[in-house]
A and B are shown apart, each in its own frame.
Chain A
Amino acid sequence: MRLELKRAIYEENDELARKINEGLRSRRIFTVNVLGSPGAGKTSLLTRVAERLRPEPLAVIEGDVASDIDTVALKALGIDAYQIETGGDCHLNAPMMEAVLGRMEISDGSWLFIENIGNLICPAEFVIGEDLKVVVASVAEGSDKPYKYPAAFSKSAACILTKIDLREAVGFDEGFFRAGLASVAPGAPLFPINGRTGQGVDAVVDWLKAARASSLK
């Protein structure tokens, strides 16, 4: 006997993510899910952004397959950070978010950044309660990334291009990268930054503030 289902495989996850987002929004918490490859510069970006958003309340959830190196580093800088260790899973999902939120003390009106597992594939498939996703890509990864991982870029509201001081050294073709991004994520802005010097980060912060204002209005 044939049964027609037409059911999304992650519908349970998506439903839980919707509830999580509703709960966060009711507390005026704005949530950003940060995607990117391992070593793209996600933690450096978040550190720089957090410095600029101070003294606004802000928390970071660090997703890692193993280890809490990033969480320890963020805490050392006085950033309120919480760890999710997935123990092998290559992405965060809504149940993991529900669990970590249960043990977090996050004040109303906070910024909440989630650093997803370093991976451009499955994190793109999961909503976890965020208001929006952003994708971080470094010039060292090559200018073909939007072509190779269209899902991660297409689901992101903005792209932060890191390590731009290495542009020359790695032969980064920004025109090719921009064309790919424009195809998979029309309208998504590109922010070139240098996470070490902080160059370009102000523009990211301005964009985040505008995105937050329009999302929570």
Chain B
Amino acid sequence: MHEASAAEAIVKMVAREAEARGLAEGKSYRVSRIGMVVGETTGYMRESMEFYVAASAKGTAVEGAELDIRYVKPLLRCPACGLDFERSRFSFACPACGAQGVMTKTGSEFYVDSIEIEPEGDAAPASPMPSAAASAGTGARP
């Protein structure tokens, strides 16, 4: 459920962008790729996001769009020595000096970075190449 309302908001946002562009140019666009940046503290899982975005996109100009998520690891800043570091599992201690780190904004991102649109009616390749994101398949997971 966590991802469902996010997916709806994403589909609505990018569909409107494509529509606005189409209206301005007297064309009709579909969205072929959604590039997102997601900080890991948000807890949005790649598989769930893909599932819910695909489900929300059915019957819209976003149907079939590839979801390309770049995950961002949360960074803590050491108040003593200034080091930015990634936390370990159950500790926020600075690996250099041991002081308790403080959470930074890095890792709480949640936005659509860019989209790819193409004119409606352009035939998609019969056997599309696997996308970079899908074939890599090793992206960070919160």
Known A3-B17, A10-B9, A150-B74; judge A121-B43 contact (CB<8 A): yes
| Residue in B6, B17, B117 whose beta carbon sits within 8 Å of that of A9 in the complex | B6
Known A147-B92, A184-B92, A186-B102; judge A9-B110 contact (CB<8 A): yes
A90–B1 touching, CB < 8 Å: yes
Q: Which residue in chain B gives the minimum CB-CB distance to A150?
A: B41
Contact with A along B84-125 (1 / 0, CB 8 A): 000101111000000011110000101111111110000000
A1–B2 touching, CB < 8 Å: no
Give the total of A residues in contact with B, Cβ under 8 Å.
Answer: 33
B2–A3 touching, CB < 8 Å: no
Known A5-B17, A151-B41; judge A125-B90 contact (CB<8 A): no
- In B21-56, the 8 Å CB interface with A consists of 21, 29, 36, 41-43
**A93 surroundings in chain B (CB, below 8 A):** 5
A contact face: mostly helix, strand, loop, or mixed: mixed
B114–A183 touching, CB < 8 Å: no
- Shortest C-beta distance, B95 to chain A (Å), equals 14
- Shortest C-beta distance, A137 to chain B (Å), equals 16
A183–B111 touching, CB < 8 Å: no
- In A1-40, the 8 Å CB interface with B consists of 1-13
> B57 at interface (Cβ–Cβ under 8 A)?
no
B contact face: mostly helix, strand, loop, or mixed: mixed
A182–B115 touching, CB < 8 Å: no
**A102 surroundings in chain B (CB, below 8 A):** none
The CA of A88 and the CA of B110, in the complex, are separated in Å by: 23
> B13 at interface (Cβ–Cβ under 8 A)?
yes
A180–B9 touching, CB < 8 Å: no
- Shortest C-beta distance, B98 to chain A (Å), equals 12
- Shortest C-beta distance, B77 to chain A (Å), equals 10
A125–B114 touching, CB < 8 Å: no
Q: Which residue in chain A gives the minimum CB-CB distance to B21?
A: A3
> B76 at interface (Cβ–Cβ under 8 A)?
yes
> A179 at interface (Cβ–Cβ under 8 A)?
yes
> A106 at interface (Cβ–Cβ under 8 A)?
no
The CA of A179 and the CA of B14, in the complex, are separated in Å by: 41
**A7 surroundings in chain B (CB, below 8 A):** 13, 111-112
Binding site for A on B (CB under 8 A): 1-2, 5-6, 9-10, 13-14, 17, 21, 29, 36, 41-43, 74, 76, 87, 89-92, 100-103, 108, 110-118
Binding site for B on A (CB under 8 A): 1-13, 88-91, 93, 121-122, 125, 144, 147, 150-151, 154, 179-180, 182-186
